Amino acid sequence: MANYTVYDEGKTRHGDARDVLEQIRLENGRDNDEVARMNVDEYARALIDDAPYFLPSDLLKVLGSQPFDSDIDRALTYLGQMPTSGVRILAVK
């Protein structure tokens, strides 16, 4: 299981993908009722499903061919590549 260090809108977050994505979901859920009603698995699925609207098709194709430990790891990586998200993955161990 990978551990992430993520920069998110002025905050540094640490943990496995589930922990980090849950922290991001909770923060975003304060301003978005739809996100607030989701659990972390639903949030990950929504990020993956929305990725074609936010990522260049060539990048999405490359990311889609990469192996990930889980859909949550994939969603966090996609979120880190979305220019408007403010989330940047600094390290994966």
> Could you list the residue range(s) of the whole structural domain that residue 44 is in?
10-92
- For residues 67-79, give the mean pLDDT: 97
Residue 67 pLDDT grade (very low, low, confident, very high; cuts 50, 70, 90): very high
Is the predicted pLDDT of residue 1 greater than 90, yes or no? no
Domain membership flag for residue 79: yes
Q: How far is CA 14 from CA 11, 23, 85, 89, in A?
A: 10, 10, 17, 10
Structure confidence by residue, pLDDT tens digits, 4-55: 999 998 999 999 999 999 999 999 999 999 999 999 999 999 999 999 999 9
Answer yes or no: is pLDDT of 3 > 90. Answer: yes
Q: With respect to residue 37, please indicate whether it lies within any of the assigned structural domains.
A: yes
Query: What is the reported pTM?
Result: 0.95
Q: With respect to residue 3, please indicate whether it lies within any of the assigned structural domains.
A: no
Pairing of β 3-8 and β 87-92: antiparallel
